[in-house]
Amino acid sequence: MKNKLALLSMAGLFVTPAMAEVQINGFANLIGGMTLDDGESLYGYDDDFSFDPASVFGLQVRADVSDKLSATAQLVGRGSEDYDADFEWAYMTYNLSDTTNISAGRLRMPLFKYSASLDIGYSYHWITPPNSVYGVDFNNIDGVRVDYSNYSGDWEYNVQFTTGKIQADTTIGGEPAALEIKNVVSLSTDITRDWFSARALYARGTVTAVNPEFTEFLDGLRRFAPIIPTAPGVADSLNAEDDTGTFVEIALDVDKYDWFVGAEFTHTKVDDAVISPNDSWYVTAGMRLGKFTPHITYEVDESEISDNQAAINMLPPSISTGDPVTDATWAALYIGAQGVIAGQKYETTTVTVGVRYDVEPGFAVKTDVSWYSDDLNSSEDATLLRVGVNYTF
């Protein structure tokens, strides 16, 4: 029923005058995979073959309301969400000039090189882009984006300014949490010349992440203020509420058609919160041999323990109030605080080898194997095999 209502809503959205031109495009990514050893799990896959974690089907409709005004909506169903169709994009675009346009509504946030085509697997050589960089909790924003494109000599460049608000699901200490990023402002620039391209992005916003269990834990720390005066300050430093977050991305690509090499780097930081700074990057290379494109990718995802560790280390690991319950409660809170900080540190590497075969224009078949290594906990290591079909129309 939800899918039918979504389709009816899309049809109603584009009831326009007879002069309007309507373009309908679609895509399908049917991706199956499994880990190769019992008990392993990675990116939502385990040792039972499944199509659900990464399969995506979508339909995009664009209507030209006038010479300068258009409306765009994208309906997407994901296997990870039981293929329930949902509007992930819905926005209007007005062309201010031949070089500048402004869009408003629910938009794709231009965080990465492949953000605009992230769901269209046919647009890149991987089965899915490197998770170390692209595995973020959000990709869309409710707001306004201004695009400016032009040429300078042999260089083509594009500048995007985006502002708005983001709402998504995340985790704190491994538990689900509601993420809200307000007052988002981002500026990105792409430049291209022949076989070389580069891009950079800087974004910032006000971050709040709420989890009831974590909030209760912080309140527990604050209740010890009469005994440990520094405890409330530690709780406040761990709390992710109206904290400034920044995101930086840089990408470089050389594509000589017969071969290509590319790299992308991201840095994420949230000030005065439990969320630790994160650095992620990958390097990828491949060759185009007729219809075949073999490729290899090396990626790294790492995060250091946040500055809050020093504040927690100033807390006493135990107290002696004469009340065993009070003393035990504090000991549990202290261990919990140390665990929260320690859980923010991770170092992982992944090597992926794969091949793409272009059956015909708009239709590609792919397979790859990823070897994932957790440098801090080898029990999390896994090997993942995936096969996929990408189709566009």
* Averaged confidence pLDDT in the chain: 92
pLDDT confidence bin for 193, thresholds 50/70/90? very high
For the chain, first and last CA: distance in Å? 25
Query: How is residue 230 written in tokens?
Result: 């520094």
pLDDT digits (tens, 9 = 90+) for 20-60: 689 999 999 999 999 999 999 999 999 999 999 999 999 99
Mark out the alpha helices in 229-374 (DSSP H runs).
231-238, 308-313, 324-342
pLDDT at site 16: 46
Q: Where on the phi/psi map is residue 285: left (φ > 0), alpha (ψ -120 to 50), or beta?
A: beta
Asked if 239 and 274 count as a contact pair (C-beta separation under 8 A), the reply is yes
DSSP at 1: -
pLDDT digits (tens, 9 = 90+) for 327-378: 999 999 999 888 887 777 889 999 999 999 999 999 999 999 999 999 999 9
CA angle 302, 305, 306 (to 5 degrees): 115
Structure-derived torsion over alpha carbons of residues 319, 324, 326, 329, reported in degrees to the nearest 10: 90
- Helix 231-238 with 212-222: angle, nearest 10 deg: 160
- The rounded distance, in Å, linking the Cα atoms of 10 and 80 is 22
- The rounded distance, in Å, linking the Cα atoms of 336 and 95 is 54
Tell me phi and psi for residue 234, to 5 degrees: -65, -40
pLDDT digits (tens, 9 = 90+) for 231-277: 998 898 888 899 999 999 999 999 999 999 999 999 999 988 878 89
Half-sphere exposure of 299 (CA within 13 A, CB side): 25
| Secondary structure (3-state) at 227 | coil
pLDDT digits (tens, 9 = 90+) for 139-176: 999 999 999 999 999 999 999 999 999 999 988 767 78
- The rounded distance, in Å, linking the Cα atoms of 326 and 110 is 50
Place of tokens 């927690």: 312
pLDDT at site 11: 46
pLDDT at site 313: 80
pTM of the model: 0.89
Helix and strand counts by DSSP (H, E) for the chain: 6, 16
Assigned CATH class of 92-392? mainly beta
Mark out the alpha helices in 43-83 (DSSP H runs).
none
Beta bridge pairs of residue 75: 59, 87
DSSP string, 120-134: -GGGSSSSS--HHHH
Q: How far is CA 41 from CA 245, 293, 330, in A?
A: 30, 27, 35
- The rounded distance, in Å, linking the Cα atoms of 207 and 180 is 6
Helix (H) or strand (E) holding 232: helix 231-238
pLDDT at site 275: 82
pLDDT at site 165: 97
Tell me phi and psi for residue 334, to 5 degrees: -65, -45
pLDDT confidence bin for 198, thresholds 50/70/90? very high
Helix (H) or strand (E) holding 100: strand 100-108
**% of residues, the chain, pLDDT over 90:** 80
